[in-house]
Structure 1
């Protein structure tokens, strides 16, 4: 049977409802006027409490984990750099690399958010302790400097990261994108620290951290003041997170113009200027390096009102969510944006870094606060349910880095203390604040944007609100005014998701007059204690195709992305990637346990029927998310093409002399692999290896001296490369792919081997040597076979 991965919008039973489409809602009165305020703000996190749900479980599990973390371990390098004795051993993972220290900022944010979410005083106590330690460390430094990152010198010696800044101020700026003079993203590191200091003030009321931030700002401003504009841009070419956002926010909190000037100085022209001009040049750029820069643009817009900041922010959000995002709301492949509208070509095991979505949801909140367009929350809900909730294993409390969408891939989770990464950090934060975006207020309106069981205090109306729902496993959500000081008139705006074909609303169990305003049902009345409104949405199945291939897509049930269950992670998936074959696909998907959103195909699954379950719940299971979808006639054509390809591969195998499976331990040993500046890896289920500038890889392969041979290399079509192939020291050819040769697909390239290279030999040494300042790119194996 064919090997497949994805599926089509054309046979969508429910119609092509995209993220922002809102179909006719007969239950609503129609109006062209804008009843609702344009601007809104979320209710304070400390005024919202979650009730039983998977989101509440995520917060509870995270709360337990955060209490096991030792802040002194995260402060290890901070104290050491200031000449103080560390109080605890440093943690593992990135904390033992030159990026060390970034996790402290994440942790400070996480415990501050958790204090707001739970009221547990231990979290505020910890936040106070960390900031006191930072103030002490900063005092020992004497010049405002405080950091935990380190620097690796050219001789391999690891020293305190402060050493790089005199070099930078002198104009000696060296970076390859993530390292700055031997230190891994130090400015990004500071951005995370500032985030923690701000969150401690916002959610715990700790002002002392702001003084630490101002003193550190003086040091950073001194560094940038020594640079001309060209040198600033060179520094900004190294990932700096949203450090410009940090200084814009510092200005907002202190009203000191010095910090606004510094934020504006950190304007990264190469990325931001095209966005301001409405140009999508995101492809090929590291994704999460860019998103925080747009958070800065959002903050600068809120401070200055300048339209160019709004333009960059809104244009970026629109391009990413509608042209660069997967069905679960995440984005990027191998951490990088690719060409817009090419999702079907990038279904891999390296999709959807969690940090990207963490930051995109922050950006979404900003945009919505300026314009209460419900479509922002169509995206937010999609990503919140299907990506963020899938990122934490509720059994262990641990976090995934990527959320792979490749068929059969294992999700993979961190360990508590030994492999800290950026996504471990944002995971601690994300699962401390699931209540932050449910309720919003603006003017005399209360917006309900997420249907998560919860209670809230609405201080503006002296009211207590209860939201009771099993959504998205049940379409009904009931909001009750649990208490209110006196009967009060206000508007209740209930978001109707863009995928919903209809909606019904009742008040106190009876049909109610509701007015449609954009994507909301609005009930404008006098509310008293005990009044309730119930919104009922139809939870329909639908097929959502990728924008670039109508035969490739995913199955959704309401807001939930469904996945084919391919078994436990302990069992490696070696089967054929499933496809769906039906003239009417949705009619073949039958409920098994509707209360759990469990379904099964009947007659459409190939090579076997599929159990379909919510994707986010597949923590310790393997999944198929994207499917190819065919009608019966298309399937016959596909089968014929598959059989022809199998015949070609069979012929090639018959003529094979030797094959080198690069990136696999045993084949590399069998072929005597030697390498330098070279790393193995895997992509889309295939193993490979690359060699970078200054390195090489070489290995032996068997040959037949009496026949013409062909050497075949396998590549991924988006990779650029330039390298020489040498056989026993003599150059066979130079491989050059200056541009992406075949975007979105694997391909083979063949190089005839003249008989002089093999005459009288039983084996040869093949060496792949980067040239022209490039690398070999990933090489997914080499095959020597006889010419026909």
Structure 2
């Protein structure tokens, strides 16, 4: 009876009130094949990269934790320093998606091989568990016993184990649902039952405490398992794994995102939406939609990405976006597209697809090198650059999502509602709608030409409506639809889709005219920086190829960051004009589609011949996406102000050997964070960490043993706090904060004993330890100085 009730409940899921009458169904990836285009090229490049990776090396952490002998040594980098196994989970998803999109047997063979070995590991473990988290047995035994010490990126001193294992759960879901691997379903259900048993005796408060640690989309996968099995116990587990601290403000329509680690939150929201789909919860769906609107409208740059140094910056101040070498993270956009797909299918509207298309062309497509390799950060800083992974070196999160990204381009080109067909994206491709005996071939060179053509092949004439998205970037009133070379009228619904209803027959040809405009876009904070678009394509300019240090990332802990020289912002090209419509000054380059010059705007002279081209075409170079704008009257004052600020900033960087931002997830992880009784947060848009009766530490690198000072940033209002600063277990200073420095942040430099530095072996552990009954910190920044 329980299962029957659950199945009946799940059968009612599509009846979400907010989406009634506006739901669509996606076609499976196997129904869509890409044709010649930049997307097809990216798909083929990704497949080669995936095949260069070794399944046995990816499986090694799972075999190790199951007590089985590995067939090959595991990979290094993130795969060998605590996040062991996370790429293996992504690999399952990537293989499933690429196999479905291409039909290649060798990809499916690899997927089956991976699943077979995961099943053996699960059988060896004997309790349903399978995973690559180091020290799994003791970790999960402690969790089950209620021994939980959770930080933002650690759980019981392990690097985000739930985030890690979520990749395996998601990979098993994809292997079953996308590639049809039945064994993957069996492993998935047993792994879900293991989690049910693991958390059975934990209170809801204990689970919520555990969820302080990054955990990916665990709520999403359990909702998936509920839908797959029809058993409501997994939906209940999905709700337990839904982080209330993030959900509750969203339910109330409150934007509390500033300072939060961006990609920790997006998968949670995907999970809220999936629980809403499976459980029929309109409020949770509205919360997910509120989050989407908040991020896309107020925290997103022109390429579709968001966040700085992986965190949401203030929506009213994008200065850090322009100054940082750690701009939008590819994983964020991967997950935002996943959320967008959910929202679009539940309540379709062209606004969702406008964002989806913009991000697909300009962040996702640009994040893979044409010869292979994936990008972590895409800096918006003028004249900076990106670095790319190598198949046997880099195993960052953005490699995991990267191998998935380019195998699923076909997921939303088309959709359907009953018998009606929707064309959402203008990507050359073939749709096979076997159930209705319809094939659609979309051809053309969009966006390099302003049209797309659909050729229909039908098993018999059929009456239906063809809905074509009317993008926001099309010239007003400019979109035209022709059927068999004749203009046809179309209706426009409130979702901005153009509909043509008729009796369609085999051989009908639909031509869609898509006249594009060049536009300029300011940053969401309204500051005087602009980016140019032509249609959905963001235009950028390659400035030079100097100082591209680490262009092909090695396996070092910080290899994913473009650590080459920061070029002074005041020396970057800028636009000088008193006009509002800057785009009117962009001139097409003859014979080069989507190439423009802006010589009448650009200053100084040495940059006047720069060409603006699609950003997804720029690689192995420094570039300009956002351009500062000023008038000729204000030029000198602006240059002086920027020069003074940059002079100070660059001088500080030149004196800095290593640095860490306390409370920010990746910087702390990169610097070997450890601690007890410690917390982190955000105050006045700045991250902090302190320890109440405990301690925390970072490992700072000084390979040349050149450090002379340790610079710490404090807040002047902190008081009644006494703690020690120790360097390599040697007391450097006892600090007393008494709140007498005013309502501002301030810095203190501490001299480092040179004998200690010379004996350090190139690594200095800086530890902040509270005196009994007191607090260590707050610490707002740590710098090791020359």
Q: TM-score range by the shorter chain?
A: 0.7 to 0.9
Q: Of the candidates 78, 103, 120, which is equivalent to residue 87 of structure 2? A: 103
2:531 match: secondary structure: strand
Aligned equivalent of 2:662: none
Aligned equivalent of 1:191: 166
Aligned equivalent of 1:537: 514
Distance 2:766 2:118 in 1: 49
| 1:344 CA displacement | 4.1
Q: Which has the larger radius of gyration?
A: 1
Preserved contact between residue 92 and residue 174 of structure 2 (Cα < 8 Å): yes
Preserved contact between residue 93 and residue 420 of structure 1 (Cα < 8 Å): yes
Please state if 1:248 is matched with 2:213.
Answer: no
Aligned equivalent of 1:494: 468
Distance 2:657 2:778 in 1: 16
Aligned equivalent of 2:629: 629
Preserved contact between residue 712 and residue 780 of structure 2 (Cα < 8 Å): no
Distance 1:561 1:240 in 2: 33
| 1:579 CA displacement | 1.2
CA deviation profile, 1:47-98 (whole Å, cap 9, x unmatched): 1111111100011111122222221111112112222110111112111022
Distance 1:724 1:564 in 2: 50
Q: Of the candidates 291, 297, 317, which is equivalent to residue 266 of structure 2? A: 291
Distance 1:174 1:84 in 2: 29
Q: Of the candidates 55, 64, 70, which is equivalent to residue 54 of structure 2? A: 70
Please state if 1:210 is matched with 2:182.
Answer: no
C-alpha spacing 1:206/1:142, structure 2 compared with 1 (3 Å) = same
2:696 match: secondary structure: strand
1:346 match: secondary structure: helix
Distance 2:583 2:642 in 1: 26
Alignment of 1:485-524 (within 5 A): 485-502=459-476, 503-518=479-494, 519-524=496-501
Alignment of 1:41-440 (within 5 A): 41-150=25-134, 160-347=135-322, 348-395=324-371, 397-440=372-415
- Provide structure 1 residue ranges, at least 5 long, that are not aligned to the other structure: 1-35, 151-159, 666-675, 680-689, 703-710, 743-748, 754-766, 784-788
C-alpha spacing 1:175/1:750, structure 2 compared with 1 (3 Å) = closer
Distance 1:324 1:412 in 2: 24
| 1:461 CA displacement | 3.0
TM-score when normalising by structure 2: 0.80
Distance 2:741 2:248 in 1: 26
- Provide structure 2 residue ranges, at least 5 long, that are not aligned to the other structure: 1-19, 549-564, 660-670, 675-688, 751-764
C-alpha spacing 1:68/1:659, structure 2 compared with 1 (3 Å) = closer
Higher RCO (CA-CA < 8 Å; seq separation 6+)? 1
| 1:263 CA displacement | 1.1
| 1:175 CA displacement | 2.2
Distance 2:623 2:107 in 1: 37
Aligned equivalent of 2:668: none
TM-score when normalising by structure 1: 0.80
Preserved contact between residue 724 and residue 732 of structure 2 (Cα < 8 Å): no
Distance 2:591 2:738 in 1: 55
Preserved contact between residue 541 and residue 625 of structure 2 (Cα < 8 Å): yes
1:773 match: secondary structure: strand
User: Does 730-739 or 439-448 show the bigger shift?
Assistant: 730-739
Please state if 1:605 is matched with 2:602.
Answer: yes
Preserved contact between residue 769 and residue 776 of structure 1 (Cα < 8 Å): no
Aligned equivalent of 2:655: 661
Distance 1:364 1:143 in 2: 36
Q: Of the candidates 529, 547, 558, which is equivalent to residue 552 of structure 1? A: 529
Distance 1:649 1:359 in 2: 37
2:36 match: secondary structure: coil
| 1:171 CA displacement | 2.2
User: Does 228-237 or 36-45 show the bigger shift?
Assistant: 36-45
Preserved contact between residue 301 and residue 524 of structure 2 (Cα < 8 Å): no
Aligned equivalent of 1:477: 452
Distance 1:352 1:659 in 2: 21
1:49 match: secondary structure: strand
Preserved contact between residue 506 and residue 512 of structure 1 (Cα < 8 Å): yes
Distance 1:768 1:479 in 2: 63
| 1:375 CA displacement | 0.6
CA deviation profile, 1:622-674 (whole Å, cap 9, x unmatched): 1111111123333354246457879x979x99xxxx99802279xxxxxxxxx
C-alpha spacing 1:174/1:77, structure 2 compared with 1 (3 Å) = same
> How many residues of Structure 1 are paired with residues of Structure 2 in the alignment?
684
Aligned equivalent of 2:753: none
User: Does 194-203 or 772-781 show the bigger shift?
Assistant: 772-781
> Where does structure 1 differ by over 6 angstroms across 4 or more consecutive aligned residues?
643-646, 676-679, 696-702, 711-717, 720-726, 728-733, 735-740, 750-753, 780-783
Distance 2:403 2:653 in 1: 45
Distance 2:318 2:501 in 1: 42
2:441 match: secondary structure: strand
Preserved contact between residue 291 and residue 359 of structure 1 (Cα < 8 Å): yes
Distance 1:659 1:388 in 2: 30
Preserved contact between residue 659 and residue 782 of structure 1 (Cα < 8 Å): no
C-alpha spacing 1:715/1:495, structure 2 compared with 1 (3 Å) = farther
| 1:418 CA displacement | 1.9
2:331 match: secondary structure: helix
Distance 1:267 1:363 in 2: 16
Aligned equivalent of 2:680: none
Distance 2:25 2:58 in 1: 33
